[in-house]
Chain A
C-alpha cells in the first residue's frame, strides 16, 4: 500500500473506533428516520439526514481530531518522517468522506428498503451534491481547526457551528416547517446549500445555484484555513 492510502485507511479505522462519533453520525440520523417513519412525506426528510451525517463528521468531529493532532505534536512527529504532515490532513479528509458515504448508504438503504422512500430522481446530481456537501463540511471543519487554539476549543467550536447548522439549515427538520424568520437565518448557513443540493438531486429539479454556492464556500474555507492554519501552537 502507498503511504497515503495506508494513512487514510488508518484514519478511517481510528474514526470508526470512536463509538461516540459513529453513534452521532449514523445512529442519530437513523433514529430520526425511524421516529418520522409514519410520516407520508418521508422523502422530504431523507436528504437532510445525509447532510446531517456529513455535518457531524466534518464540522464537529474533524476540528477536534486535527486540534488534538496539533496539540499532541502528532503533526510535528510526522514532519520527521518522509511523509508530509499535510498528508495527515488529507487522510483525515478522505476518511471523513468515506465514513460519510458509509453513513449515507446505511441511512438511504434503510429509507428505501425498510421505509419505502422513493429512490432518488437524479442520482448523478445527488452524487455530486454528496461530494460537494462532504467537501464543504470538511473544509469548514479545517477552518474551525485553524482558528481554534487548543484541541478542546476546536471541539467546542465545531459543536457550536454544527448544532445550529443541522437545525436551521434544514438537515434535522426540513426548512419548510420552520418559522419564516428562522428560515432567513438559514440563508446564511453554508449547510443550507448542501441540504438544498441534496434535496434537488433527490426529488426536486437540480439547479446550478446551490452547487456554485457550495464551491464558493469550499474555496473560501480552504483559503482561510491555508492562511490561518498553524502547525504548532
Chain B
C-alpha cells in the first residue's frame, strides 16, 4: 500500500526554484529519508506534504488525500515536527501534551506518550525552561500524541548532543516497529543510514539518487552513506 505519492512537484519562491520536478512514493510502514544540503528543497517538499504550502504544479497525495485542499482532514492522521518551531514559553510539558491530544479525534493516551519519551520528570516544567534536547523530545512526542499513521520529522536530531541523538534513534526504531510511516529530513548521513529503509538524495531542487542506503553505497562503490552522498553530490555538479 502507498502512503505518500509525489509526482513532478514544482515550487518556486519569486526567482528561486526551490523544488524542480520531484517524484517519489513511500509505502505504508516505510521510513523514508530526504537527505541533502540546506536549500536543496527538502523542507519545501515536506511542507507540501503537510499542506503548509501549495505546489505550483505536480500532485501530492498523502493517505489518498490532497494536503493543499484537505489539510485539516489529513492532519487528523498525520503528525509533524518542524524545524525551529517553539511553543508558548510558559506552557508546561504536561499541558502541551494534553492540549495537543485534545486537537485529535482519536489521540494516543498523552500520559503514556509522556512516559514513553521520558518527559514525566519534567511534566511541570515550562517550555521556555527546557534544554534544547528536552524541547526536541517534547516536539517529537507532540508529533505522535495524535496517534498518526504518517509522521514527518524535519531535522530530527539537529542541535542534540551525541547521547540524545542515539536515544532519539532508539525511539524512532520503536516507531518503525509500530508500523508508522515516517518521512525523515536530515543532513546527517549516519542517521539516515541507520534509520531509513530508503533515502532520496536532494540537490538543487531535484532528486539525484534514490534507493536503500545499501544500494546507494554499492552504486557509488563506497563504504558508507556519507561517502556515497559526497560522491553523488560531486557527480551532480
Contacts and interface: CB of A to CB of B under 8 A. Distances in A.
Interface of A: 1, 3, 6-7, 10, 13-14, 17-18, 68-69, 72-74, 76-77, 79-84
A80 B80 contact: yes
B134 interface: no
Contact of A81 (B87, B88, B89, B146): B146
Nearest to B95: A10
A18 B79 CA distance: 30
Interface in B72-91: 72, 75-76, 78-80, 82, 84-91
Contacts of A84: 72
A69 B88 CA distance: 7
Interface residues of B, number: 28
Nearest to B145: A81
Contacts of A76: 52, 82, 85
B115 to A, nearest CB: 22
Given A10-B99, A14-B91, A81-B146, A74 B85 contact: yes
Nearest to A81: B103
A222 to B, nearest CB: 23
Nearest to A83: B103
A10 B91 contact: yes
B99 A6 contact: yes
Q: Which 6 A-B pairs have the closest CB atoms?
A: A72-B86, A80-B80, A73-B85, A77-B85, A6-B102, A82-B75
A73 B76 CA distance: 20
Given A14-B90, A14-B91, A73-B84, A80 B52 contact: yes
Interface in B122-147: 146
Q: Which of B52, B75, B88, B90 has the most CB of A within 10 A?
A: B88
A79 B90 contact: no
Given A1-B102, A3-B103, A80-B75, A74 B90 contact: no
B99 A80 contact: no
B103 to A, nearest CB: 5
Nearest to A78: B103
B225 interface: no
Contacts of B91: 10, 14
Contacts of B95: 10, 13
Contacts of A7: 99, 102
Contact of B87 (A1, A72, A82): A72
A74 B52 contact: no
A17 B85 contact: no
Contact of A72 (B75, B85, B146): B85
Contacts of B86: 72-74, 77
Contacts of B52: 76, 79-80
B169 interface: no
Q: Which of A1, A3, A73, A80 has the most CB of B within 10 A?
A: A80
